[in-house]
Structure 1
Amino acid sequence: MRLVILGGGGFRVPLVYRALLADREPSRVTELVLYDLDAARLTAIARVLQDLASNILDAPSIMVTTDLDEALRDTDFVFSAIRVGGLDGRAVDERVAADAGVLGQETVGAGGIAYGLRTVPVAVEIAQKVAVLAPEAWVINFTNPAGMVTEAMSSFLGNRVIGICDSPVGLGRRVARALGVDPGEAWLDYAGLNHLGWLNGFRVEGVDLLPRLISDSARLESFEEGKLFGAEWLGALGAIPNEYLHYYYFTREAVAAGASRGEFLLHQQEKFYSDPSLESWERTRLEREATYMAETRDDERDTCDLDGGGYEQVALALMHAIAHDRQTTLILNVPNGSTLSAVDSTAIIEVPSLVNANGARPVSVSQLPEHGVGLVTTLKTVERLTIEAAVSGSRSHALKAFALHPLIDSVTVARHILDAHPYLSGDFRAR
């Protein structure tokens, strides 16, 4: 099979290649194409991949290109992992939001909207090219904000674009560890949007073990989400939220923390790309993982969550299920259909989905918890306003997206962010 990675010069690409090297399937990926606008970054990542494959005789071949059309022709699968504006753009997103006194995280709040406004036009262009140059290809979208970008691309690719995220998988793995069960034997009753979902049940052999966990404070606070939200709050919710909901439940604390993840990653990766090697990549990766969402934690991250096995494994499982018509269930970003009553049928949601050669379709899950319905419907409206603004250049839609987001809650602040942000298109400027 031929696999194309868009954003092939990205720092996390070696995680995908390492998973491909470990794959022993008869019809595994044999050709890997890395596409990026930045030739120097492509060269750096290709060097790391070659080091990873140095002792593996049947490693997938590696091709690098800055020509999107060349990359897409005759491919079977596309992994989209682009970052429009680079880490410089992310750092600016965070700085502009912080200056306005609101949260600037890259997928949540002002930062997520700004990132979406830059990214959606490029993602739409890619979707249109895939539809023409590789109409039989499947696009697996890693690009953030993942739900928003997947929904924008689906207008051109239909169900041939599927969004993935490793946050729900990581949550399920940590809950399984706290309960002392094999995560492979559990059914995760999880529902929401990307970075806005809740684990409402954790079933093993038909028995929901989540109430037992929530009632046991010591076990509950033994893993990341339990420490993050606290046993009292999780007991009140009766569910375990995705870690990104910390920004909604503890907004003042998150804003006060004021950490700039973008600035940190920008400086960290500048060092790696200036002198790339497998050793420096691994060292940088571990530091990156250890500091993930560090502003929300009072202690170090559990070592069990530092070794990868996240989104690249989800992507590989999804690719195999489609390519080999191997029925499996994964938590994915897919069209709602009739799954969640709070949103319409075309809305991209994040839920367990049944995958086979025909793609992915959501399966029946518990409805959103009552306390989450308002957040989900509001955020879906914000996502769609952002998509419309990005595609049309409409200032009014962009302003509404910022102003209606619950983490901004001020038209004045929304207008300030829109006018002050140097990376947003001139079409959004006040006239």
Structure 2
Amino acid sequence: MKVTIVGGGGFRVPLVYTALLGLSQRLGIDELVLHDVEQARLERIAPVLEGLAAERGVTLPFRGTTDLVDAVRDAEFVLCAIRVGQLEGRVVDESVPLGLGVLGQETTGPGGLCFALRTIPVMMQLAETMAEYAPNAWLINFTNPAGMVTEAVQRVLGERAIGICDSPAGLLRRAARALDREPSELWFDYFGLNHLGWLQGIRDGARELLPELLSSDARLDTFEEGRLFGGEWLRTLEMLPNEYLYYFYYAADTVNAIRESPNSRGSFLLDQQRAFYAEGAQPPAEALERWRKTRHDRERTYMAEARNAAGDCHEHEADANGGYEGEAMAVLEAIAGNTQALLILNTANRSSLPFLDEKAVVEVPCIVGRTGPVPIAVGEVAPHARALVETMKDVERTTIDAAISGSRQQAIRAIALHPLVPSVTTAREIFDGYCERLPGLKEAFPA
């Protein structure tokens, strides 16, 4: 089996490689190809992977290439995590709206839309290359904004493109732990879009457990979402929101917290990873140690702006079950092994959320086997959640159309219709600010 990682020189690739080490023999993975647009990044990450293989005593040979056709040709699975514009682009995504008093965040708000505008055209090229050279491959996408990108590439690949995110699974595990239960014992009623989802029920076959969790401030205080949103608001909602909904429910608080911070997360990561990649190749053991230290510092700052706004002094806790690499491996194993696993994925709606059309990409529980994910029917949901999902789906689709067509008018429309953007005038100023600081965006969206 050939597996390809697009974005193979990325900082988090060692996490994916570690997960693949555990599956390679069982699934018969005999060819792993890392693709990146920069050879130097591949050369920096390669000894880290060699260090991991040596540490675990497992062999999974890999090779790097900057040739996309070579990378994807005849692959059975293509895993993709790229950052078009790299971290310099993320800093722009975050800082431009913030200068106008609007939330600047990687995937939420106008920052996420700008990220999508420059990412979707590149992802469409990947999809078209796969359609020609690996027509039977599955694309497992964790390129952000994951739901929007997945819906865009499904125009080419159909439902063989699957989006993943580790936030929903992490929320479910944390909620189960707060109830002193094992996740495998419970059914979780989760629905929404990527980074815009809610947990509206937890059942054990005998009774509904979510009210018990929401009624206990002591239990809520044991995990991040409980501390972020607070018991009073969670009991008002009667649901547990995905952590990214903090940016919607507490937008002004977050903007103030970010403005008071000396550095944005994007700026921190830019400086940190620039230093890591500048070091060049190292012996495997030394490269692995250096990567691990950098990763530890990186994980501590995850969603720090939301925690600061909420007054949560706890550090982010890495999920022991793994992040998106764990979700990616779960999808790969479910399809390759036809296991009929239950996973929360970004895939075409079909009839899961009846207020959206069948092709809208949603984030819901799915049964996953050889034919891919089959979304489970969710049905009707709380009116305010439905309204926000419908609005954001329109924003997402407008952004996709703008990215593919290069329409400045559509790009501004998408930003203006986003719930976190206060006016059309502000939307124009945000887009003009992006074009001024990102010359490639200005060229892609002529007036």
- For Structure 1 versus Structure 2, the TM-score category normalised by the shorter chain is over 0.9
Q: TM-score, normalised on structure 1?
A: 0.97
Partner of residue 414 from structure 1, selected from 427, 438, 441: 427
Match of 2:104, SS state, is coil
Structure 1 residue runs without a partner (length 5+): none
* Pair 1:291 & 2:301 matched: yes
CA contact (8 A) 1:254 1:295 kept: yes
Equivalences for 1:165-184 in 2 at 5 Å? 165-184=165-184
- Residue 30 of structure 1 and its aligned partner are, at CA, apart by 2.7
Measured against aligned partners, the alpha-carbon deviations of 1:48-79 in whole angstroms (never above 9, x if no partner) come to 00010114554211110000000011111000
Residue of structure 2 equivalent to 1:246: 246
- Residue 274 of structure 1 and its aligned partner are, at CA, apart by 2.1
For 1:367 and 1:286, how far apart are their aligned partners in 2? 41
Partner of residue 383 from structure 2, selected from 370, 375, 380: 370
CA contact (8 A) 2:214 2:220 kept: yes
Please, what is the CA RMSD of the aligned residues? 1.4
For 1:67 and 1:226, how far apart are their aligned partners in 2? 46
CA contact (8 A) 2:187 2:202 kept: yes
Equivalences for 1:270-419 in 2 at 5 Å? 270-275=274-279, 277-297=287-307, 298-301=312-315, 303=317, 305=318, 307=320, 309-419=322-432
| Count of residues in correspondence between the two structures | 429
Residue of structure 2 equivalent to 1:54: 54
For 1:20 and 1:356, how far apart are their aligned partners in 2? 19
* Pair 1:233 & 2:233 matched: yes
Match of 2:422, SS state, is coil
CA contact (8 A) 2:2 2:77 kept: yes
- Residue 287 of structure 1 and its aligned partner are, at CA, apart by 1.5
Amino acid at match of 1:215: S
Measured against aligned partners, the alpha-carbon deviations of 1:107-129 in whole angstroms (never above 9, x if no partner) come to 10110010000000001111011
* Pair 1:79 & 2:79 matched: yes
* Pair 1:98 & 2:115 matched: no
For 2:392 and 2:355, how far apart are their aligned partners in 1? 12
Amino acid at match of 2:336: A
Measured against aligned partners, the alpha-carbon deviations of 1:169-206 in whole angstroms (never above 9, x if no partner) come to 11011101100111122221100000000001112235
For 1:357 and 1:427, how far apart are their aligned partners in 2? 39
Residue of structure 2 equivalent to 1:160: 160
**CA 403–290 in structure 1, closer or farther in 2 if over 3 Å, else same:** same
**CA 211–62 in structure 1, closer or farther in 2 if over 3 Å, else same:** same
Which is further off, 269-278 or 290-299? 269-278
Q: TM-score, normalised on structure 2?
A: 0.93
Measured against aligned partners, the alpha-carbon deviations of 1:325-367 in whole angstroms (never above 9, x if no partner) come to 1111100001111111221111000000010100111012253
Amino acid at match of 1:245: L
CA contact (8 A) 1:191 1:367 kept: no
Structure 2 residue runs without a partner (length 5+): none
Aligned-residue sequence identity (percent) comes to 53
For 1:306 and 1:316, how far apart are their aligned partners in 2? 15
Match of 2:368, SS state, is strand
For 2:206 and 2:22, how far apart are their aligned partners in 1? 33
CA contact (8 A) 1:286 1:306 kept: no
**CA 91–185 in structure 1, closer or farther in 2 if over 3 Å, else same:** same
Equivalences for 1:102-251 in 2 at 5 Å? 102-251=102-251
* Pair 1:268 & 2:272 matched: yes
CA contact (8 A) 1:15 1:308 kept: no
Which is further off, 414-423 or 364-373? 364-373
CA contact (8 A) 2:406 2:446 kept: no
Residue of structure 1 equivalent to 2:442: 425
